[in-house]
């Protein structure tokens, strides 16, 4: 299948993935990456240290890439993925490359994508578009919303969704915050010492979300701040109705559950005052903090009680 000007669907990447899913008859999670690639006429191949030993071109690629869309004019185009990656990561990479393959304005180029390009925090517009399209393949919105509505807001819900859609924790959590109709957000926390001790201007567009027509610079922190704040906000993704925005770069002090979860390496559930995230608001969030393995990062799910009596989200009606 090939999208051209004749079946141009606009500039929203997820629409292209939805059309492919509809037309290929895939209606249940997990979406099979092989079926999607096959429907799009793309061959799936893996590269590894062994295969690269016989092919110098692959050796060059393997140094920097986790996935590669290799277009061929007279043959079948291919998606290469790193054979050593874990399964969920391969699926994310394959669907990401499918995004490059079907978005009409990505046409005619090979895409050699590194781990950073397939990362949800990627800054380049082209890569963000492909991430959006790939997320729709991996966790189709309709199926995902049904699952979200059937589960209480919690890390447990994200874990369930992750297993159902065979996806890694981080992209699933981002999708969860982005799609859920309730009041919730995901804060990714990282150690301050991993950052350079001077203000850096970065494009911190929240992953998977609308791009603002203006830039919101991260909060610059000084070296003194690094001592006061051992942790920092890497990024924040919120549901549409969550009432607060937490800026990337916000420092987190000691003496709260976020810090305790990070220091102990154990998950924690608690109420966390909004002031922990730099807000002057007097309320507290319900929160769950999950350390993410050896990465040194902590994923924090925040949510607030939803006092709307009933929200018929699927039909976009508030009762």
Q: Which residues bind Zn ion (CB under 5 A)?
A: 111, 113, 117, 127, 130
Nearer to Zn ion, 94 or 113 (CB): 113
Nearer to Zn ion, 130 or 180 (CB): 130
Nearer to Zn ion, 115 or 147 (CB): 115
- Give the CA distances from residue 45 to residues 2, 48, 80, 94, 189, in Å, rounded to whole numbers and listed in that order: 20, 10, 5, 10, 35
Using CB atoms, what's the residue nearest to Zn ion? 113
Nearer to Zn ion, 154 or 168 (CB): 168
The least distance separating Zn ion from the CB of residue 236, rounded to whole angstroms, comes to 23
- Residue 87: exposure state from Cβ atoms within 10 A (0-12, 13-18, ≥19): exposed
Terminal CA-to-CA distance of the chain, rounded, Å? 41
Helices (H) and strands (E) in the chain — how many of each?
Answer: 11, 12
The least distance separating Zn ion from the CB of residue 129, rounded to whole angstroms, comes to 9
The least distance separating Zn ion from the CB of residue 117, rounded to whole angstroms, comes to 4
Contacts of 159 (CB under 8 A, 6+ apart): 169
The least distance separating Zn ion from the CB of residue 304, rounded to whole angstroms, comes to 35
The least distance separating Zn ion from the CB of residue 134, rounded to whole angstroms, comes to 9
Nearer to Zn ion, 113 or 298 (CB): 113
Nearest residue to 191 via CA among 118, 133, 258, 255: 258
CA distance 10 to 21: 17
Nearer to Zn ion, 106 or 232 (CB): 106
The least distance separating Zn ion from the CB of residue 116, rounded to whole angstroms, comes to 10
| Residue 19 Ramachandran class (φ > 0 left, ψ -120 to 50 alpha, else beta) | alpha
CA distance 21 to 267: 36
């Amino acid at each position: 299948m090939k999208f051209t000007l004749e079946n141009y669907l606009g500039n929203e990447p997820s629409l292209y993935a939805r059309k492919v899913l509809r037309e290929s008859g895939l209606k249940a999670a997990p979406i099979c990456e092989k079926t999607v690639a096959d429907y799009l006429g793309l061959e799936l191949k893996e590269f590894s240290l062994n295969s690269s030993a016989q092919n110098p071109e692959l050796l060059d690629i393997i140094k920097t890439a986790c996935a590669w869309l290799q277009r061929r004019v007279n043959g079948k185009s291919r998606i290469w993925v790193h054979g050593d990656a874990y399964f969920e990561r391969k699926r994310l990479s394959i669907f990401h490359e499918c995004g490059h393959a079907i978005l009409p304005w990505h046409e005619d180029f090979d895409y050699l994508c590194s781990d950073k390009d397939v990362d949800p925090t990627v800054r380049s517009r082209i890569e963000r578009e492909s991430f959006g399209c790939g997320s729709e393949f991996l966790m189709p919105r309709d199926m995902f919303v049904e699952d979200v509505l059937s589960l209480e807001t919690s890390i447990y819900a994200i874990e369930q969704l992750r297993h159902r859609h065979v996806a890694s924790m981080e992209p699933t959590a981002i999708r969860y915050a982005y799609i859920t109709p309730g009041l919730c957000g995901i804060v990714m926390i990282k150690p301050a010492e991993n950052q350079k001790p001077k203000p850096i201007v970065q494009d911190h567009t929240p992953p998977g979300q609308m791009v603002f027509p203006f830039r919101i610079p991260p909060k610059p922190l000084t070296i003194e701040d690094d001592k006061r704040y051992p942790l920092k906000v890497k990024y924040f993704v919120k549901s549409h109705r969550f009432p607060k925005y937490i800026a990337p770069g916000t420092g987190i002090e000691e003496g709260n559950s976020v810090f305790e979860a990070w220091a102990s390496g154990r998950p924690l559930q608690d109420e966390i005052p909004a002031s922990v995230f730099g807000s002057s608001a007097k309320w507290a969030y319900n929160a769950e903090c999950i350390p993410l393995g050896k990465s040194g990062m902590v994923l924090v799910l925040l949510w607030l009680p939803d006092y709307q009596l009933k929200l018929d989200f699927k039909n976009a009606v508030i009762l």
